[in-house]
Chain A
Amino acid sequence: MSIQLHQNIQISSFVSPGHLENNQFLIQCEHLNYVVSTPVKTLIESLILYQNSNETLVESYFTTTQRNASEQDIITLARQHIPKELFANTEITDQRNPFIFSMTLLPERFLSLFSVLLTPLFNKWLCLITIVTLISVHGSLLAQISQSATLGIPIGSIPTFILAMLFSYFIHELGHISACQRYNCPHGSIGFGIYLVFPVFYADVSKAWRLSQKQRAVVDLGGLYFQSMLIIAIDCFAYFTESQLAYVVSWTITFTMLHTLNPFFKFDGYWLLSDLSGITNLHDKMRTSLLRVKHKILHGTPLNFREDTTLYLLMPYSALAMLFFIYVATFLSRKLWQTGQDIASALSKIQGDSLSESFTLMFEKETLLPLLKTTMWAVLFVLLLSFYLKRIKNLLVQDNNLEAENK
């Protein structure tokens, strides 16, 4: 056979904005996902038919496309338009992920034991009851919860606090996984990683691309939904036992839930916005839309809102994202300056002729640990700041492809 695709390619329809007619298709092969137009889809179908039947390539192509073409033309078209990773002679590389570091904590097989049992929780009446209960219980206790949070917890309660938070993260990720299972969509593992500079827990739901926009939104909200149930239980426990620790846990979970709705990083808010709007690869498209604005300003290239209606969302999103990144960069710069002053102040307290004397003196005066802590924060702020500056640079950097496209 002169041309062959991987055997496990799956094709399904894909709805995206700007394509009211159903002429977009999802091609899935292991962890790879592509949205393709009808001609690419039929080309792939003709190759699959060719592999699985006794027809020649020319016959298979005619069967699926109703067009005549020579074998060489079909091969050329396939090489030109089908992603090379789908060809059998190309080894599928490991899944690309957004993490600097990542490790699987709970594998797919283990999770499927739980996720199957939890799917009944995605009942619309139960969802409604949970939301109403969350608003009434958490809302009525919020003042007390926030007041308790200012008091903090004793050192002895810290291990329990950490365990409670780890359980909360696990419940959150299990919510995403169970939502996938609810729609009979295969799911991946739960793990821990470093995203940009954030330590994160994650659930791999890459196969969820095959679901409808609404179902994907449910997967996105599954984590918050499960955490809502947890927070109701914690609030009730805190109320009846007057547990300071429970109030602090409730407050911290509330904060993480709000934090994950941030749409500018790839947290739940990002995926929710992407799925509700139907705009895929939101970050890439944000970069492209910013470049379009730049070309509009510099060269007068029209933005064509009528042709590309996604710009109505992408433009304000991109502008807000830029403002957000600039705000955070400014905030980090201020913190870095302040931390630098703290270090200078701590160092000025060092007395003694030798380094060892200085360290002994600092240890005795209990200034060594605060200095180390301040230095650690300084390093962290430098890392954060460098990331943000790089991020802003990437948004503004010249894109050669778009440059060529606009000329």
Chain B
Amino acid sequence: MPLPATLRRLAFLAALVFVGQPAAAQVPFGEATTAKEGLEIGTSTSEIAIASDFRGADLTIFGALTNADELLLAIGQYDVVVTLEGPLDYATVRKKSRVLGIWVNTESMTFEQVPASYSVAATRQIDDILSSEGGLPIGTEHMRLSPTGYVGNAGNLTEFREAYRRLKLAGGLYQHDFGGVRFVSSSLFRASLRLPANVPDGVHMVRAYLFKSGTLLAERELPLRVNKTGIEQQITDAAHNQPIAYGILCVLIALVTGWGASLMFRKK
């Protein structure tokens, strides 16, 4: 299954290389292009399997700019940001404080539908790229973190958002690599994103954004399936889908181990 898909992608990339460049070459320097700049992307794989020895993986994303202005390209006016967003879920941040000498979780805030993992690569610092574009939720600093329910104190919100970003970055589930997107030729770029060892399974989204002088021009997205394969996934599935049978199996293993050992050692 994965092999034909990979081949198809390679063929697609080859096509990008051959089609993308002559098209750009036909446009004279400095002349305004009538067609709007566009963006095409392809990933090295559409599915990542996590086996028991998974220590993280690198995902390479290839892309090409179409109808790009050669001059603007040469002076680095185009910027590309590539993100990989994990499955969305609620996340709760808790804060401890001292109560009667003991550290207790006293405050909490729940953010709705935030990605469980998030990697971002860009041609340079996101803040430099986004300078003129307000409110785009791209990058760990700008992603949407909306709390559920009523938030009394606005200062708290900033504090909890910062703590969330910091913890996710420290845990490796959120990553950024400013400089992780490189142009391999004038209009062809390559981005590498890191998948951490504890990447959640499910459908992830690869998103690529093209900016010209800080303005968003084009956006592309591709799904990426992350599958835990082998015995690990079967165990996790069984624990969640057939919890009673799973529980009975746990008890049976305990009975057999306990009884078996006492039989084995009695004979000696």
Q: A and B: partners?
A: no
